[in-house]
Structure 1
Amino acid sequence: MGLCGERQEPVDAAAWIDAALPRLMGAALSLAGHRQDAEDLLQETLAKVILKWSSVNHADSPDAYVRRAMVNTFISGKRRKSSTEVVSHDVVTAEWRGRGQGGEGHDTDLAARDHMWQLLATLPPRQRAVLVLRYYDDLPDAQIAEVLGCSAVSVRVAAHRAMGTLREALAPVPSEPAVEVAAKRA
């Protein structure tokens, strides 16, 4: 629905896609983690959506319909894919470099971002989708639940587990306590 609860006017598929393409590509990149995979995900999603454009056009929100289709395509594609390849988020890194953000700590920031994208790529597809929808699309849990076809509680559980996995992966390796070191020397 549009603002004030009104149903949006029907939109031409090509015009809607032209307007939404940058936003959709950003979401696809966040989900897929690699430009080639993101382009494939977006292409597959748009191919499905165009075939059902009359349904999309009559939905309360074409954005929500397409977002759900993209997330479902991503999750089902990850189920089929047997590869465990972990890739860096090369497009985001290249874009960040292109912004002229040089200076002290710049390379450290890039390395940290790249490492975070690598860690995000290791999450199960559903957990990754929850984090992308929450932090990239800035959706509340209720809308994420609607996109994923689950409850808001399931969204919070998936986000909690994903964040726990990321925190664990980022935690420094504890060094040996001084008592154990002293005992080894004796």
Structure 2
Amino acid sequence: MTFDEFVAFRLGALLRYATVVTCDAYLAEDITQDVLVRAQARWARISAVDAPERYVKRMVLNEFLSWRRRRAARVVPLAWEHLDLHVAPTADPSAAVDDRDAVLRLVAALPPRQRAAVALRFYEDLPDEEIADLLGCRSVTVRSLISRALATLRKSLPAPLVTTLGDPA
């Protein structure tokens, strides 16, 4: 597969992934663009790996984490209307939008590694070992990051939404 074909087929998925990890559609576009520029220069090597999309997603994750390290101030994005998480319609659509907005604001306030671990677990549906590989840590650290993130979310969410996070383990 050529680089142009890869971008044509996977750009939407990469942008959604970056948006979930960053919680900011504009930052996701910037990071994805920067990563694709670097990936194009290395495409011969990247396309030779078993899963080039996973490799590029790892590049996106690393770029986000390094971008966050370069910024001293924590930024909580306000442009939630650009984040599409495919929420199923409910009887009262405004309640679902309010709930989604509350959850996304709290997820956006999580530390970057916790947010990345949550995104990889619940959006990418990856097991602890793969998340640990992507984050460059051990599996026990991944479980700790996710546990802390969910505990923070449980403390801050209204009671009806807490039940959707499951019981603490």
> Which residue does the alignment assign to 2:81?
90
- Shift of residue 105, structure 1, vs aligned partner: 2.0
**In the alignment, residue 77 of structure 2 is paired with which amino acid?**
V
Separation of aligned partners in 1, 2:58 and 2:17: 11
Quick check: 1:114 aligned with 2:101? yes
How big is the alpha-carbon RMSD for the aligned residues of Structure 1 and Structure 2? 2.1
CA contact (8 A) 1:75 1:125 kept: yes
Separation of aligned partners in 1, 2:17 and 2:100: 17
Segments of 5+ residues of structure 2 without an aligned counterpart are 160-169
Separation of aligned partners in 2, 1:85 and 1:77: 12
My pick for the range that moved more, 146-155 or 65-74, is: 146-155
**In the alignment, residue 68 of structure 1 is paired with which amino acid?**
R
My pick for the range that moved more, 82-91 or 154-163, is: 82-91
Which of 134, 137, 156 is the equivalent residue of 1:147? 134
If the length of structure 1 is used for normalisation, what is the TM-score? Answer: 0.77
- Shift of residue 45, structure 1, vs aligned partner: 1.4
Separation of aligned partners in 2, 1:95 and 1:44: 26
- Shift of residue 139, structure 1, vs aligned partner: 1.1
**In the alignment, residue 46 of structure 1 is paired with which amino acid?**
L
Indicate the SS of the match to 1:58: coil
My pick for the range that moved more, 24-33 or 84-93, is: 84-93
Distance 1:106 1:37, change over 3 A: same
> Which residue does the alignment assign to 1:60?
50
* Structure with the greater alpha carbon radius of gyration: 1
Quick check: 1:12 aligned with 2:13? no
CA contact (8 A) 1:93 1:110 kept: no
Quick check: 1:73 aligned with 2:63? yes
If the length of structure 2 is used for normalisation, what is the TM-score? Answer: 0.84
Quick check: 1:165 aligned with 2:114? no
The Cα offsets for residues 46-103 of structure 1, whole Å up to 9 and x where unpaired, read as: 112112112211222112211111111000101112332322422236976xx9x4x7
The Cα offsets for residues 110-144 of structure 1, whole Å up to 9 and x where unpaired, read as: 01101111111111111111111111111111111
**In the alignment, residue 60 of structure 2 is paired with which amino acid?**
M
Q: Could you tell me the percent identity over the aligned residues?
A: 33
